[in-house]
Chain A
Amino acid sequence: MSALVVQDLGVAYGSVQAVRGIDISVERGGLVALLGPNGAGKSSTLRALMGWARGASGRVAFDGEDILGWPPERIVRRGMTMVPEGRRVFADLTVDENLVVATVGRRDRATIAADRDQVFALFPVLYERRGQKAGSLSGGEQQQLALARALLSAARLLLLDEPSLGLAPKVVDTIFERIVDLKRRGLTLLLVEQNVDRALDIADHAYVLANGAIVMSGPAAELRRSAGLAQAYLGLERESAA
């Protein structure tokens, strides 16, 4: 059964059509990658799913419920959230406070403490730095905090917007390990990533977006093997750059 079904999604900023009627589906417990060159419409898609973009059209069903047009907090409280591009941790708040904020929408207060311990077990560095201002963390630590936050909000479906952006290769390894951990814990993930190889390594299924439309899709393993991908991708990149 699909956790997320996107049908004919369009996103327009004024007269600019950033996304032109795409269909995506994410199976429960799956990890789906959304790939494509810069400006292809990947981030716009995530924003539209999360209620961050005005001018979205089409249909977005999360666990069978049409959520397009809902305010973000309502979507979050229903169990879907996003780790935004650039981490966007609350810089003035401590690590601990960032995590407290993540639980504001939860009703099951009793289990929060246990969940918090689990999160610290998953991200030990955050436990070490729990009293520190989030703004003083390194980029990789901030990305871990952003993931931890999403996890503590008790989301079942996580949208990840460019989690490796601006991080050193070694740090990227850690982040991708954590993402795999999240999948193992039963979370459903939709990953937007520029780092195609890394993304295909961990994804079950992938869509390739260019100029706001889906140009390729299939199981990650097949796409990776397909000789056409790199070509298509590079070609598209050239085309979209032109």
Chain B
Amino acid sequence: MTIELLLQQVLNALSLGGTYALLALGLAIVFSMMGLINFAHGEIMSGAGYGLWFVILVGLPFGLGIVAAVVTGLAIAVAMEKIAFRPVRSASPAALLLTSFAVSGIMQVLFQNLISPKGRPVAVPDVLTGSWTLGTLHVGTIQALSIIVTLALLAGLTVFFRRTRMGIAMRAAASDFDVARLMGIRANAVIAAAFGVSGVLAGAAATFWVAQRGSVDPLMGFLPVLKAFIAVIVGGLGRLEGAVAGGFLLGFIEIGLRAFLPDDLVAYREALTLALVILILVLRPRGLMGRARESVR
């Protein structure tokens, strides 16, 4: 394997890991506030994809489609919190989890019945389907953009979380929700904001996902969010940096196995990925950056 190929695979891992990181961060923000792993996060992503699809269907430019995807992700996430999760917020974690499964199932059926059970094609402009050449490296435009935008979003979020009152308040709520309320932080506002941020991130991830696959279908969000869930666990539940690290790590593990495993072992790489994840959790039971979660309950 040459240096060029190695670099190419590193870029591949950054791009894939970045998408996982965006989704994992969304899951982790919500989890850290309310102890809920939102399995309907994938449907936020699918919904954002349909937002993109619709804008292109009515003949508007792709750029507006990206805006639509992010806005749709935001709107679905905030509405989901208000309609489905707020009424059961103080219920047990198991009840919250079941609620999220129910929301996920309902939304999938809605997409199937109101739009189509079959994937809807999304035409991606030719500008985005080409590649950039850096020396001997070929980087797909979408891949390059996904790395750049992911890093920009993470940088932007870092500033938001470090420099703004709302961002610092959200980190406080993520680390100790009950005490954050003692600081006057409104539970409804901060949880809605958490869902909002997770929706925006899901919308951004959906854009890359759809641009890469060329279609939207009702079950589109399931697999990436399952991966993001694994990333959150690996990174350490409740740690936002952990989720990002976990997402990138998973990207590197997946690409690494696919690139370097001998042909006859490639079929087992999903199993090997999970085996590595389990190994990490055996060595660090709370994940890469995990710690115990405190609660008044």
Q: Answer yes or no: A and B touching, Cβ < 8 Å.
A: yes
| A residues with CB within 8 A of B | 47, 50, 52, 54, 71-73, 76-77, 81-82, 84, 88, 90-93, 97-98, 100-106, 149, 153
Which B residue sits closest to A150, measured CB to CB? B182
From residue B196, how far is it (CB to closest CB) to chain A in Å? 17
B181 within 8 A of A: yes
Q: How far is the CA of A88 from the CA of B294 in the complex (A)?
A: 9
**Shortest 8 CB-CB contacts between residues of A and residues of B:** A105-B184, A72-B181, A76-B184, A101-B172, A88-B179, A90-B172, A104-B169, A73-B181
**Contact residues of B between 168 and 204, Cβ < 8 Å to A:** 168-169, 171-172, 175-176, 178-187
Whether A97 pairs with B168 at a CB distance below 8 angstroms is yes
Decide if B179 touches A90 in the complex (CB within 8 Å).
Answer: yes
Which residues of A lie under 8 Å from residue B179 when comparing CB positions? 84, 88, 90
Give the CA-CA distance A77 to B180 in the complex, in Å. Answer: 13
A-B contact pairs, 19 of them (CB 8 A): A73-B181, A73-B184, A81-B182, A81-B183, A81-B184, A82-B182, A84-B179, A88-B179, A90-B171, A93-B172, A93-B175, A98-B172, A100-B168, A101-B169, A101-B172, A101-B185, A104-B169, A105-B186, A106-B184
Residues in B with CB closer than 8 Å to A77 are: 184
Which B145-167 residues have C-beta < 8 A from chain A?
Answer: 165
Contact with A along B30-67 (1 / 0, CB 8 A): 00000000000000000000000000000000000000
A76 and B169 CA atoms in complex are apart in Å by 15
> What B residues does A54 contact at CB under 8 A?
90
Do B183 and A102 touch across chains, with their CB atoms under 8 A apart? yes
**Option from A47, A73, A82, A102 in Cβ contact (under 8 Å) with B187:** A73
Min Cβ gap A230→B in Å is 33
Q: Contact at B182–A104, with CB atoms within 8 Å?
A: no
Cβ B178 vs Cβ A52 within 8 A: yes
The CA of A54 and the CA of B297, in the complex, are separated in Å by: 10
- CA gap between A113 and B200 in the complex, in Å: 33
B195 to chain A, nearest CB (A): 18
- Known pairs A50-B182, A72-B181, A81-B182 / 9 extra A-B pairs, C-beta < 8 Å: A73-B185, A84-B296, A90-B175, A97-B168, A100-B165, A101-B183, A104-B183, A105-B183, A105-B186
Decide if A92 touches B181 in the complex (CB within 8 Å). no
B296 cross-chain contacts in A, Cβ below 8 A: 47, 52, 84
| B175 in contact with A71 (CB, 8 Å) | no
**CB closest chain-A residue, reference B178:** A52
Residues from chain A with Cβ under 8 Å of B175 in the complex: 90-93
User: With A and B bound together, what is the CA distance between A54 and B181 in angstroms?
Assistant: 15
**Which of A100, A102, A103, A104 has most B Cβ within 10 Å?**
A104
Contact between chains at B180 and A101 (CB < 8 Å) = yes
CB 8 Å contact bits of B92-131 with A (1 = contact, 0 = none): 0000000000000000000000000000000000000000
Nearest-CB residue, chain A, relative to B169: A104
Chain B residue contacts of A149, Cβ below 8 A: 183
Contacts of B172 in A (CB 8 A): 90, 93, 97-98, 101
- In the complex formed, the residue of A with least CB distance to B166 is A104
Nearest-CB distance from B220 to chain A (Å)? 34
Against A, the Cβ 8 Å flags (1 = close, 0 = not) of B9-25 are: 00000000000000000
- Between A72, A81, A149, the greatest number of chain B beta carbons within 10 A of the residue's beta carbon is seen for A72
| A104 CA / B182 CA spacing, docked (Å) | 10
Minimal beta-carbon separation of B131 from chain A (angstroms): 41
